[in-house]
Chains A and B, each alone.
Chain A
Amino acid sequence: MSQQTELPELDSVGVLRYAWRQLTSMRTALILLLMLGVAAIPGSLIPQRTQNPIQVSQYFKDSPALAKWMDRFSLFDVYGSPWFSAIYILLFISLIGCVLPRTIEHFHAARALPPATPKNLSRMEHHSTWAANGTELDVARAWFKTHRFRILEKDGSISAEKGFTRETGNLFFHLALILVLLGISFSSLFGMRGEAIINVGERFVNTPTSYDTLTYGKLYKDSNLPSFMLTADKFVAQYNIETSSPEDYTLNVSLLRDDFSVVEKKVIKVNSPLTIGSTRIYLQANGYSPVVTVRDSKGDVAFQGPVPFLPQDSNLRSIGAIKVPDADPQIGFVGSFVPTYVRDPNGGGAQSAFPKALDPRLLLSAWLGDLGLDSGIPQSVYRIDTSAMQQIGLKTLKPGETFTYEGGSITFEGYIQWVNLNFVADPGKKFALLGGIVAILGLLASLFTRRRRIWIRVGSEVEVAGLAKNAAPGLEIEMEQFIRVLKGDK
């Protein structure tokens, strides 16, 4: 060891050691903890891509310059941003650096005997002294045993200690938090999350192309998708007559698992997802798909089938688009479906009075021209870019009615319901849950146990004293009790 290694500012090891000490100090941990809290705030005030992509794009439309700058600081994706990650990663490194050495230390301390009785007990708190009768040491030993103190007896004195659970609980709490984080990371590597809209009566085959959106964890592959087939047999939505708020959604499905031999009948409800292996299927949303038939001028069918429309309000007024790219020229319908038709009293268009289809109407505006599907720009299936089209008519249809326009017709055959299912594989959640449970138990143990020492020395006089760590209350009462037992007057 040369002289230089002792000067941290000149030596990289020294600098690292210094940085490590700073990072794992309690003060830094506390500052990082508060920073994590503060850093979480913007994500709750600014719309986030993961929760509210539509509002984010609205932001970009309303004030593009500001939004661009905000995007540079990941303000639309706070919880996945580099700076947010930096804070919690540093916090957890700090936590590990703090907790691991303490765990080792505590492991040794828990097996060691309490330190010997101090020479001068009169300096300690709760000190009291009285004339001895000779049996006190035995009484004290018995009392310590029944109260589960750990004791060290030496030269006519007993040093007793209790309350190690406090630190044990504290350490378990912090280790459990690390387990929660590991669970979350595990899911982000091996998890999967997908969404699909399925018309009632249709079948869903679990392959990547069946999904509307699908995201994999970094180590999840197509081949990890379990093979099954799901048919949406029946969907029932119940609504409150007075408030038209939903009361129950029930989806009946037929499930064919990987060996494709037995059809199982299953029920999916909002609070009870369907579990297939490690994948769970959740009922997330529902709406209406008007069923239409579009014919060309010769009467041949150009398009036929249900088209999912997106609900806009609690009474399920829904909007959507029917695109017929095979017609020549191309034709598109911008549509609005109302399950229970009423005229808007304020003079607007049609409104829905109730979410159940009591008196459904399909409102259509027909457009002729170029749908722009070949331009390569991704388009919403619920909207039509009418910039290169010409409006040729407006019509409100009841089920069974047909709207005839120049060059063809469209028939509103009826409607079916669709359901939006979420498919989630989250293999890390059991670790996170275990971490959560251990954290609570550890917290309870650490907050409700008191660590304290009691000493007794017996010579011609009895001398007792006590010490409560962390200034925990309650030792006074315990000492009084102890002294009463020693003096024999229970």
Chain B
Amino acid sequence: MSRTWAFASNYLIYSAMFVYTLSFFAHAIETAWAVKVPTDTTKTLDYKRTEKVARIATAMMILGFILLFAGVIARGISSSRVPWGNMYEFSITGALAFTGAYLGALRKYDLRWLGLLVSISVLLTLGTAVAVLYRPSAPLVPALKSTWLVIHVSAAIISGGVFLLANVIAAAYLYLDNMEAKGERTAWAKRLPSLEVLDQLSYRLVAFVFPLWTFAVIAGAIWAESAWGRYWGWDPKETWAFITWVAYAAYLHARVTIGWRGRRAAWLCLFAGSTFLFNYVYVNIWGTGKHTYSGL
């Protein structure tokens, strides 16, 4: 029975990858074909030409999200627990959270220009997960058997998804800023909203999710107290979670209290986000400490 669910989960995730690939191509076509070259040879953008493709791209993204969601659920059923026991499972759930953050933000803001980046990063994450990180579905080790797994890990994964989205937007800000400084704009850059909107958007996302990250760290501390006998022990994962927290706290202070905007704020945002990524990749794979379980 559990095998069937595990297979179902794998197929769902492969299907999600296929659909994300379609979404990626649709976004690519949208970006490329929106450029029209009229007779006077100045390039202009005409989105009416690509509106249909853009809709398909977003529809595929939603379908991919649903398939991936089902895949994650099936993975959980196959081992009768929440699917957050190893790095493969963190990665598929992380990809889900990232798409979810994008689709959620899409309801409120016109973010379709971001679709190209979102679909390719989700594809890369899922590809790595399937090819490198895959582990057969198995029960949890005793230390992970706790209600706090659900609370701590879900908060951490959602925070991660939103942090990364804020990072992508900050990177887009820097890219666009460079373009404007040079006085040129590529096809993709033309799709971007104004610098001010990008700047505000990445801040808004960080401010929204910073309390959740704080909660994830505190929930982790409460869990660590009952599992390991101390709520804080400077384990590498804890240390880097703290560094991420400090970096985003500095980012929020820099913006709200000192009034940093634009390039400096974007760089600080990127720095903070990279500490999160480092924690996820380095500490999980090469790190030592109490957060490493059963291989990966």
**Which residues of A does B touch, CB under 8 Å?**
26-27, 29-30, 33-34, 36-37, 40-41, 43-44, 47-48, 50-52, 55, 78-79, 184, 193, 240, 242-243, 245-249, 269-273, 280, 282, 284, 422, 424, 426, 429, 432-433, 436-437, 439-440, 443-444, 447, 470, 473
Shortest Cβ distance from residue B149 to the other chain A in the assembled complex, whole angstroms = 9
Partner of A37, one of B145, B215, B221, B247: B247
Partner of B231, one of A37, A432, A447: A432
Shortest Cβ distance from residue B107 to the other chain A in the assembled complex, whole angstroms = 17
The answer to whether B210 has its CB under 8 Å from any CB of chain A is yes
Q: In the complex the two chains form, what is the Cα distance from A30 to B249 in whole Å?
A: 9
Instruction: Determine whether the beta carbon of A40 is less than 8 Å from that of B141.
Output: no
- Nearest neighbor of B235 in chain A, beta-carbon distance: A51
List, in ascending order, chain A residues with CB within 8 A of B140's CB.
Answer: 247
Instruction: Determine whether the beta carbon of B211 is less than 8 Å from that of A242.
Output: no
The answer to whether B49 has its CB under 8 Å from any CB of chain A is no
Shortest Cβ distance from residue A312 to the other chain B in the assembled complex, whole angstroms = 16
Given A240-B138, A245-B138, the answer on whether A40 and B239 have CB atoms closer than 8 Å is yes
Q: In the complex the two chains form, what is the Cα distance from A197 to B243 in whole Å?
A: 35
Shortest Cβ distance from residue A424 to the other chain B in the assembled complex, whole angstroms = 5
Given A44-B239, A247-B142, A433-B222, the answer on whether A470 and B289 have CB atoms closer than 8 Å is no
Shortest Cβ distance from residue B283 to the other chain A in the assembled complex, whole angstroms = 7
List, in ascending order, chain B residues with CB within 8 A of A240's CB.
Answer: 138-139
Given A240-B138, A271-B146, A444-B211, the answer on whether A44 and B236 have CB atoms closer than 8 Å is yes
Q: In the complex the two chains form, what is the Cα distance from A345 to B280 in whole Å?
A: 36
Given contacts A79-B234, A440-B215, 13 further A-B contacts (CB under 8 A): A26-B253, A30-B257, A30-B258, A50-B234, A245-B138, A245-B294, A272-B226, A273-B229, A280-B229, A429-B231, A440-B214, A443-B214, A470-B256
List, in ascending order, chain A residues with CB within 8 A of B139's CB.
Answer: 240, 247
9 closest A-B pairs by beta carbon, nearest first, are A37-B246, A282-B229, A270-B142, A436-B218, A44-B239, A44-B236, A271-B146, A422-B229, A443-B211
Given A271-B142, A432-B231, the answer on whether A33 and B246 have CB atoms closer than 8 Å is yes
Contact with A along B203-217 (1 / 0, CB 8 A): 000011011001100
Instruction: Determine whether the beta carbon of A447 is less than 8 Å from that of B207.
Output: yes
**Which residues of B does A touch, CB under 8 Å?**
136, 138-143, 145-146, 200, 207-208, 210-211, 214-215, 218, 221-222, 225-236, 239-240, 242-243, 246-247, 249-250, 253-254, 256-258, 275, 283, 287-289, 294
Given A33-B249, A37-B243, A44-B240, the answer on whether A270 and B231 have CB atoms closer than 8 Å is no
Instruction: Determine whether the beta carbon of A243 is less than 8 Å from that of B294.
Output: yes
Q: In the complex the two chains form, what is the Cα distance from A440 to B207 in whole Å?
A: 13
Partner of B283, one of A37, A44, A78, A269: A44
Q: In the complex the two chains form, what is the Cα distance from A292 to B207 in whole Å?
A: 63
Q: In the complex the two chains form, what is the Cα distance from A251 to B234 in whole Å?
A: 28
12 A-B residue pairs with CB within 8 Å? A30-B254, A30-B257, A37-B250, A40-B239, A44-B283, A50-B234, A247-B141, A271-B145, A273-B226, A426-B225, A433-B222, A433-B231
Instruction: Determine whether the beta carbon of A246 is less than 8 Å from that of B211.
Output: no
List, in ascending order, chain A residues with CB within 8 A of B239's CB.
Answer: 40-41, 43-44
- Nearest neighbor of B138 in chain A, beta-carbon distance: A243
- Nearest neighbor of A41 in chain B, beta-carbon distance: B243
Given A44-B239, A245-B294, A273-B229, the answer on whether A439 and B250 have CB atoms closer than 8 Å is no
Q: In the complex the two chains form, what is the Cα distance from A447 to B256 in whole Å?
A: 10
Q: In the complex the two chains form, what is the Cα distance from A48 to B118 in whole Å?
A: 39
Q: In the complex the two chains form, what is the Cα distance from A107 to B67 in whole Å?
A: 53
Given A282-B228, A284-B229, A436-B218, the answer on whether A248 and B142 have CB atoms closer than 8 Å is yes
Instruction: Determine whether the beta carbon of A51 is less than 8 Å from that of B234.
Output: yes
List, in ascending order, chain A residues with CB within 8 A of B289's CB.
Answer: 51
Shortest Cβ distance from residue A33 to the other chain B in the assembled complex, whole angstroms = 5
Q: In the complex the two chains form, what is the Cα distance from A269 to B145 in whole Å?
A: 10
Given A43-B234, A440-B214, the answer on whether A30 and B253 have CB atoms closer than 8 Å is yes
Given A33-B249, A51-B234, A240-B138, the answer on whether A270 and B145 have CB atoms closer than 8 Å is yes
List, in ascending order, chain B residues with CB within 8 A of A429's CB.
Answer: 225, 231
Partner of A36, one of B208, B231, B246: B246
Instruction: Determine whether the beta carbon of B234 is less than 8 Å from that of A33.
Output: no
List, in ascending order, chain A residues with CB within 8 A of B146's CB.
Answer: 271
List, in ascending order, chain A residues with CB within 8 A of B215's CB.
Answer: 440
List, in ascending order, chain B residues with CB within 8 A of A47's CB.
Answer: 288
Shortest Cβ distance from residue B203 to the other chain A in the assembled complex, whole angstroms = 11
Q: In the complex the two chains form, what is the Cα distance from A52 to B119 in whole Å?
A: 41
Q: In the complex the two chains form, what is the Cα distance from A298 to B261 in whole Å?
A: 87
List, in ascending order, chain B residues with CB within 8 A of A247's CB.
Answer: 139-142
Q: In the complex the two chains form, what is the Cα distance from A273 to B247 in whole Å?
A: 34
Q: In the complex the two chains form, what is the Cα distance from A27 to B259 in whole Å?
A: 11
Partner of A51, one of B200, B210, B233, B253: B233
Q: In the complex the two chains form, what is the Cα distance from A55 to B142 in whole Å?
A: 26
